[in-house]
Chains A and B, each alone.
Chain A
Amino acid sequence: MFDNLSEKLDSVFKRLSGKGILSEKNIKDAMREVRQALLEADVNYKVARDFVKSVQAKAVGQEVLRSIDPGQQVVKIVHDELVALLGGTTAELTPIDRSPTIYMVCGLQGSGKTTLTGKLALWGRRKNKKPMVVAADIYRPAAVKQLKVVADQIDVPHFHIEGKTPPEICAAAVKHAKTNFIDLVILDTAGRLHIDQELMEELTQIKSQVQPHEILLVADAMTGQDAVNVADEFHKRLDVTGVVLSKLDGDARGGAALSIRQVTGCPIKLASVGEKPSDLEPFHPDRLASRILGMGDVVTLVEKAQESIDEEQAAKMQDKIFKAQFNFEDFLDQMAQLKKMGPLENLLQMIPGMGKALKGMTVDEKDMERMVAIIKSMTIEERRRPQLIDGSRKRRIAAGSGNSVQAVNQLLKQFFAMQKMFNQMGKKKMKGLPPGFNPF
């Protein structure tokens, strides 16, 4: 199995190196791989088909650039097209400039609406606005209490009236907001199926009563083919103004986003990336495009690193990775930093090809501690130039760290594999890809 589309395409094109132009035949082969990658990422069947057709038309007849191989060139065409379809640039929420501005949050059951309501309130508060959250879910057990707990956590007022219908609650909330100098009202509605006529009608009523400035559809990034039906139905009823993709902190490829974007035409505005109120990010079309194509996400990795390490260090780390000058001293440094960034697996998964390079190297805390112990038993010279470590040095390091020689061997093997992989990544990056194109 190939790790990503880029490798697959490389193999398709290997058979035809030397031909100077992307012909219909070889593009067709490549597009079969692209289509499969899209389907595996949960892009809807029809959306994938149309997408492939349009890319094919664009690619045929293009001259193969000398500096990169045809596989990469096709990946670039595909990637650019995906980015364009996903929205090109980051879309913004309607600004909070009325008294009050109203956001309505809706979607299927369990998609992450209540959590998002809290996140939006915190986001508003951080802009020095006065937000208020409204519990308009009278159905789910303890839904009102859930939003109350969230509101208390972030110290934002919570509105609800017992015994009223959701449209009544929302109307009363807006009235209350007007007299209480609230800038932003966020309506948390109950989860519902798009085919539930009665409950969909309820949303229409809320909309006509309070005229929200922003109607956000929350969609779970793990959703499969059905995303088109759901988004279509919600959009038809409500004229959704934006989509929020939730649970993007997992390993879902997120192809549903492309389907939703295609059937509704509305912009994806935000990415929900965790359970905490602060886990909200702008949506980056280019990152999702890479993710859909199975190409990891070095940008996110680097940004994550920047949150916990200072920028200079992060840049250095990236540089080292790409130049493959990464040695055991850096490894030790990074271990300490990585611990601050959260679960290691999450980070490693963002690096393309990493999954494969690290096979058999389970990164649980205990392993990490053992690795640190082994590295610490090396001399500075050995840490900088691991190739120096011969049999007798291995025995010394093993004894010094209380491990077997086998364990030392294993660490070295993994380290060299990693170095090799970084080396390849570095080369690919150097190979003259157009600026702004990040294959990862």
Chain B
Amino acid sequence: MFNSFKKLTESLTKTKDNIFGKISHVVSRRKIDDELLEEIEEILIEADVGFSATMRIIDTVKEKAREQRLSDGEEVIELLKQEITEILVQDEHPLFKPGDHKPVVWLIVGVNGVGKTTTIGKLATYFSTQEQKKAMIAACDTFRAAAVDQVVIWAERAKVDIIRSQEGADPASVAFDATQAATARGVDILLVDTAGRLHTKANLMEELKKIRRVVQKANPQAPVYTKLIIDGSTGQNAISQVKVFTDAVGCDGIIVTKLDGTAKGGVMIAVAQELGTQVDFIGLGEKVEDLQRFDAATFAEALVK
């Protein structure tokens, strides 16, 4: 836990002018007043929290500061942390439900280039090394150039089996075969790599629904979870992505990637506030081990440090 905090904090404070170092900088030796709150507002918006979510957070903090008769600027940090953590964790959110049958199927979906395939490599590694589960991959992106070759390399890196077909094959049929194979081989978790698709393309969203149906058909007892991958540098469009993917194939959790850059992923706060969807993991690099369980308090802490 300590390590994970360190890496996230390091990443989130890596910018040269250290945007998030700034809240602690801004509040020191200041009184809580409108001017201070406005500066905090700016910092939150620059972390992609978004206009409305930021306004709501600022209003709550203002209200709480008044109720608790706080005046010292430094005390705002604690309030902010609390508020952000509360928004991010709304209820118990286990990765699996008790009594889940084997194999559990994770449908990995998202818009183009966000890091689905890379995350699959990391997840396969995570499940086999950290949770002693038998993982397998289904190469269902049969569309993009060399997508199958790419995910095959990740399967090798993670040392797990992969079910594949040739480029141009029907992704649903690969998903069907993979689910059957996973069932037969006693796999604990099947990770399904799907082609990137913009949520605005109805025909491609239909294709995802079909993949989901077919998995269910191949093994009606297999629990299917949809995990949406969001690029950490995405702005307010993430809200639209979560909405539309949820409507089409459900969304049991989000994985935010590329947080090793200088983007803060603050839009997750707006997503949680508006849609109640929670984050499961964060991606922090391009190697198999660059994946961490999401911890709201750590995230909030890193954000307002």
Task: Decide yes or no whether A417 CB sits under 8 A from chain B.
Answer: no
Asked if residues B45 and A45 are in contact (CB atoms below 8 Å), the reply is yes
Taking the closest CB of chain A, its distance from the CB of B166, in whole angstroms, is 12
Supposing A110-B231, A226-B263, A247-B198 touch, asked if A220 and B113 sit within 8 A by C-beta, the answer is yes
Q: Is the CB of A109 within 8 A of B50?
A: no
Q: Is the interface of A mostly helix, strand, loop or mixed?
A: loop
The interface residues of chain B lying within 8 Å CB-to-CB of A36 are 51
Asked whether B46 is an interface residue with its Cβ less than 8 Å from the other chain, the reply is yes
- Say if the beta carbon of A142 comes within 8 Å of chain B: yes
Query: Which of B56-64, B210-218, B219-227, B254-262 lines the interface with chain A?
Result: B254-262
> Which residues of chain B come closer than 8 Å to A222, judged between CB atoms?
111, 231, 234-235, 237-238
The residues in A between 115 and 174 inclusive whose CB is less than 8 angstroms from any CB of B are 139-143, 145-150, 153
Residues of A within 8 A of B111 (CB): 222, 247, 250
Choose the segment among A206-214, A313-321, A338-346 that binds chain B (4+ C-beta atoms closer than 8 Å): A338-346
Given contacts A110-B112, A110-B114, A224-B263, are A41 and B236 in contact (CB under 8 A)?
yes
- Docked CA distance A36–B286 (Å): 35
Report whether B261 and A251 are in contact in the complex, using a CB–CB cutoff of 8 Å. no
- Are B237 and A250 within 8 A (Cβ)? yes
Determine the chain B residues whose CB is within 8 A of the CB of A343 once the complex forms. 200-203
Shortest B138–chain A CB gap in Å is 17
* Chain A neighbourhood of B198, CB < 8 A: 247, 249-251
Known: A110-B114, A250-B200. A145 touches B146 (CB 8 A): yes
Give the nearest-CB partner of B148 in chain A. A142
B-side interface size class = 35 or more
Taking the complex as formed, is A374 at the interface, i.e. its CB lies under 8 A from any CB of chain B? Answer: no
Q: A90: shortest Cβ distance to chain B, in Å?
A: 24
* Residue numbers in A under 8 Å from B201 (CB-CB): 343, 345-346
Residues on A with C-beta less than 8 A from B263 are 224-226
Q: Which parts of B244-283 form the interface with A (CB within 8 Å)?
A: 258, 260-264, 267
Residues of B within 8 A of A275 (CB): 112, 143-144
Docked-complex contact B234 and A224, CB < 8 angstroms: yes
B235 touches A225 (CB 8 A): yes
**Min C-beta distance of A152 to chain B, whole Å:** 9
Does A91 lie at the interface of the complex (its beta carbon under 8 Å from any beta carbon of B)? no
Q: Mark A215-259, 1 if CB is under 8 A from B, else 0.
A: 000001011111101100000000000000001011111011000
Contacts A193-B260, A250-B237, A275-B144; A109 near B286 (Cβ below 8 A)? yes
Which listed residue, A111, A146, A223, A251, touches B145 by the CB 8 Å rule? A146
Residue A352 CB within 8 A of the other chain: no
Contact A229–B262 (Cβ < 8 Å): yes
Q: In whole angstroms, what is the CA distance A36 to B53 when docked?
A: 12
The verdict on A177 contacting chain B, using a C-beta distance below 8 Å, is no
Cβ–Cβ contact A42 & B200, under 8 A: no
Question: B184 → chain A, closest Cβ, in Å?
Answer: 28
Nearest B residue to A256, CB-CB: B235
How far, in Å, is B240 (CB) from chain A's closest CB?
6
Q: B80-91 CB contact bits vs A (8 Å, 1 = yes)?
A: 000000000000
The residue on B at minimum CB distance from A141 is B153
- B146/A195 in contact, CB under 8 A: no
CB distance from B145 to the nearest CB of A (A): 4
The smallest beta-carbon distance between A269 and chain B, in angstroms, is: 20
Q: Which chain A residues have a beta carbon within 8 Å of chain B's beta carbons? A: 36, 39-42, 44-45, 108-112, 114, 139-143, 145-150, 153, 193-195, 220, 222-227, 229-230, 247, 249-253, 255-256, 275, 343-346, 349, 363-364
**16 A–B contacts from the bound complex (CB under 8 Å):** A40-B236, A45-B45, A108-B258, A108-B261, A145-B149, A146-B149, A150-B145, A193-B262, A222-B235, A247-B113, A250-B237, A252-B235, A253-B236, A256-B235, A345-B202, A363-B202
| Contact surface of B with A, Cβ cutoff 8 Å | 14-15, 42, 45-48, 50-51, 111-115, 143-147, 149-150, 152-154, 167, 198-203, 206, 231, 233-238, 240, 258, 260-264, 267, 286
Closest 4 A/B residue pairs (Cβ): A224-B235, A110-B113, A42-B235, A149-B145
